Structure 1
């Protein structure tokens, strides 16, 4: 079980008092029922939560991703186009569209924005023809019927991923299995490693402070990547820390299905 204000803070990167004020404004509903109690508990894996963002809502996702995209750009030859320009993009855990917006700023031409939530994606972004919105879709159960031929027949896919309350391992396992089963290409991507969700029982009020534990978690993740045929090209610090101060890291990954 999880408190409603806790979910809003983590899922939408908000300060606790801001999250509670949004709840009191009636902007959050659970299974279609407007909830005004910040302490109400629910089950994230069973209940359907919706957040109707106010007009002044701002997200830090774009600022988190932008430096990582620039890092990749800086490693390429001047004449070489980055993968998000050459290929369609998949935004996993799109939420309200912070990463999607960053990709568009970086000249991505088509983005499939996927999230388990409904109704929270930015209104202006959802109206764009170069954005395909996939709401109420769980990355652990990827299905080819969600995608069009442009995606399924692409020469490669560039993925960005930011998920909360879930280890990165089942996400990566699902993505790799989907590509092995349903795609003819591989992928590159920036997957945000949130150490606090790899060892949630060892955090202090949601913050992971143990540097030795961080190092061990990273080593375990690296072992997992090798086991699944994923090549770690670089670890890139996120442009901003998590709202609670957690240090987060983008894993720049490459998956070539021909070598698996």
Structure 2
């Protein structure tokens, strides 16, 4: 959870009382961090089963959602009645964020945020990763990964790229990683609310 802790501090995000989803929860490092930061509820989503730490399974604020593929995440996958979420945190391996991010905005309340871990070895393509035996050390490749991902977010619509920071800890095999803050923007279905006063709605 140190990576997420660093991101929340860097981005000035207060998680107190928020409803959150942890996409790619695994053993629960990000979920644990969110609980320590005071979230009201966290949905721990993972395609695997039996990975989440028992300590977290027993926490009343945690809703375990196992064997759920992040690429097919919809409001219907959540316990009913579904209420839009304030925050999504993402830490997925062996898959690009280009596949994981698109289903998330429909889960979020207006101005909802996403904090996602960017792993260049899963974004740059197999050729780049193979060249370094799974480790990408070329700063130019890191820069290209971030630029391409930002362009993708722009074309996706409904999300705004806010900030990016380097992870304080290297990933597996010594890969440099990044954390990005994205914010849900007014989609066409909410365009009528743009004229309201701050705090309305």
TM-score (norm: length of structure 1): 0.66
Name the structure with the higher strand share: 2
Alignment partner, residue 135 of structure 2:
207
Quick check: 214-223 or 124-133, which moved more?
214-223
CA distance in 1, matches of 2:46, 2:166: 23
**Residue 223 of structure 1: which of 147, 151, 154 is its match?**
151
Q: CA deviation at 1:201?
A: 2.3
Alignment partner, residue 188 of structure 1:
113
Relative contact order (C-alpha < 8 Å, sep 6+): which is higher? Answer: 2
Distance 1:228 1:86, change over 3 A: farther
1:118 aligns with 2:43: no
**Residue 168 of structure 1: which of 92, 97, 119 is its match?**
97
Alignment partner, residue 25 of structure 1:
none
1:72 aligns with 2:11: yes
CA distance in 2, matches of 1:192, 1:117: 19
Q: Is the 8 A contact 1:89 1:159 kept in 2?
A: yes
Alignment partner, residue 59 of structure 1:
none
Alignment partner, residue 198 of structure 2:
none
Alignment partner, residue 68 of structure 2:
137
Q: CA deviation at 1:184?
A: 6.0
CA distance in 1, matches of 2:26, 2:48: 7
Q: Is the 8 A contact 1:65 1:239 kept in 2?
A: no
Q: How many residues align structurally?
A: 185
Alignment partner, residue 197 of structure 2:
none
CA distance in 1, matches of 2:47, 2:181: 23
1:197 aligns with 2:116: no
Who wins on radius of gyration, i.e. which is larger?
Answer: 1
Q: What is the CA deviation profile of residues 198-254 of structure 1, one whole-angstrom value per residue up to 9, with x for unaligned ones? A: 123212111012211221121111111111122111101113111211110001000
Root-mean-square deviation (Å): 1.9
Q: Is the 8 A contact 2:74 2:103 kept in 1?
A: no
Q: What is the CA deviation profile of residues 153-176 of structure 1, one whole-angstrom value per residue up to 9, with x for unaligned ones? A: 23x420110000111111112223
Q: CA deviation at 1:65?
A: 1.3
